Structure 1
């Protein structure tokens, strides 16, 4: 919504953007999307959604079977399927070489974004890992299938714990991936069911 209002402001001015924002907030929940689509058509644009854990979102949408005219780019740790989309193009897992190249690029970007230059002898921990322990990367590539989202999460794991091993890497990866997924599933439960689950987990 914010991005759409920014576009309105760029094309028609701040006053028109504020008017659109106020109008949207006055709409009922089921009226917002049709209005957005209509306004996007007027501007000759299509709406693009960027969603993390898109598999959880699509699983919920399947129950409602909405008619959507949206472009969607999502990240997921597993294959997704949604019949109400015209087509789903899923990126294949990275090869080992491409996974190494992606980790290298992420490390280089992180170093470049730092305000103060690193000392000449210092290296990004991920670059050190790629050079000194390629077997660790290869094993995790085999276990993750080169999944893009998991590769990005592994970069964060490597950045914080270079002295670990494959087992500790997997433990941290599970915390990053599984915990949010189960949290989302728990939030779908009724209040009574959540209280029951909490009681069982505490004993």
Structure 2
């Protein structure tokens, strides 16, 4: 059904931003309904959900990690499963999303500080083309984040994103640890503490 909607809107030449917002809005309604049925027992990282990370929510019954294909800056098609073996912080963003624009330098700084073979920030662009994201990186001096693009918008929908930005932390086996909806200070000491705690536990 969602794929038909995307095809319908694309055929009529509407802006990709309108398509993304509409689809993510529908996905958000479905996600809210599903999470309302999930237990609210505290998760292992809830004590780190404070300050800049106060919006981080542990997931007690995590959905399966979406396996839709994304495109790297080098043009290679991969899935999130290709990053298993390390913690991954997946951020869905777009250049037309004002909170995302503010947040991206924070994510770049987080990757610079903690990025390794054990942890990666994957900022996945929802823009119409990879070139839009690439220009944004160049204009804003983002040097540590790799380029990723989801041209079909399927990954964010499958992940249950309620809007942009949405950031989801996955463990080494692809299981969702928790998520944060909206802009956050990912270079803050609160964020560093949360990621370091996740690296120790997962």
Give TM class, smaller chain: under 0.3
Q: In proportion to residue count, which structure has more strand?
A: 2
Q: In proportion to residue count, which structure has more helix?
A: 1
Q: TM-score, structure 1 length as denominator?
A: 0.21
Q: TM-score, structure 2 length as denominator?
A: 0.21
Structure number, greater radius of gyration: 1
